Amino acid sequence: MSGPAPTLKVLYGFHAVGVRLKIAPESVHELHVDPARRDARMRQFVERAAGTGVRIVDSDEARLARLAGTPRHQGVVARVAALPAQHSLDDVLDAVEGPPLVLVLDGVTDPHNLGACLRVADGAGAHAVVAPRDHAVGLNATVAKVASGAAETVPYLMVTNLARALGELKERGLRVVGASDDAPRTLYEADLAAPLALVLGAEGAGMRQLTRKTCDDLVRIPMAGAVESLNVSVAAGVCLFEARRQRQAAQAR
């Protein structure tokens, strides 16, 4: 007797679908593509997809838009089974070789911002992104599209109590450093090469007060122009890649 049918979700866009085909092609139930699009990128994509054995369905623009819930699908929509639940934070840290680097997002509710943060985290080599279960956006098709595949490669862990999770990171030896516009010293004066949890709040509101109090240290990104702050995903990129730079410099010594 067969078990229950898997719950399917939708991914769309070349990057998001391409990463899923690369890491877990067996989870792709069917791939819908626009037969009217015959450019080199689409031909190469369909050829690679066919090589995985996935079922490919020709679907017109209207059907693709209905499946994706948006016209911004690039002619590629996949119905996929959910991957196994993300590891716990302890599992992620246990598997890390070298000093862990974790991005913590407090109050980021916009899916475009989360997707961009996941993409930056993947590029900088962060081991996980952590967010509170409340006051945060979950993974959805928009996040996956903006993340360009990083939603499939970077563990996104939602926790019930963020302050408690930060305390657990401290117990694991990570230093918790928050980014704040009014911090007394800059990002470039801080030691980011050690085991690190980097905390950023939502644009405008910033970190919540309890989150701020839980941090071991606060740093700011020095701003040279008239703009007082950066979008959270841009700030995450600046901070994470400075941590990466410091780590590479430490290894070279």
> What confidence score (pLDDT) does residue 84 get?
66
Looking at 32, 64, 81, the residue that finishes a domain is: 81
In angstroms, the Cα distances linking 141 to 1, 46, 112, 250 are 32, 21, 10, 38
Range of the domain at 39: 8-81
> What confidence score (pLDDT) does residue 1 get?
42
Output the domain CATH number for residue 33. Answer: 3.30.1330.30
Can you list the residues of the chain whose pLDDT is less than 70?
1-6, 84-87, 148
Q: Which of 2, 23, 146, 12 is nearest to 79 (CA)?
A: 12
> What confidence score (pLDDT) does residue 90 get?
83
Q: Which amino acid is at 205?
A: A
DSSP annotation of 189: G
Looking at 33, 60, 81, the residue that finishes a domain is: 81
**Pair 157, 55 in one domain:** no
**Pair 149, 128 in one domain:** yes
State the pTM of this model: 0.71
> What confidence score (pLDDT) does residue 173 get?
93
Please state the domain count of the chain: 2
> What confidence score (pLDDT) does residue 53 get?
93
**Pair 36, 104 in one domain:** no
**Pair 32, 110 in one domain:** no
Q: Which of 184, 187, 211, 183 is nearest to 199 (CA)?
A: 211
* H or E stretch at 98: none
> What confidence score (pLDDT) does residue 6 get?
60
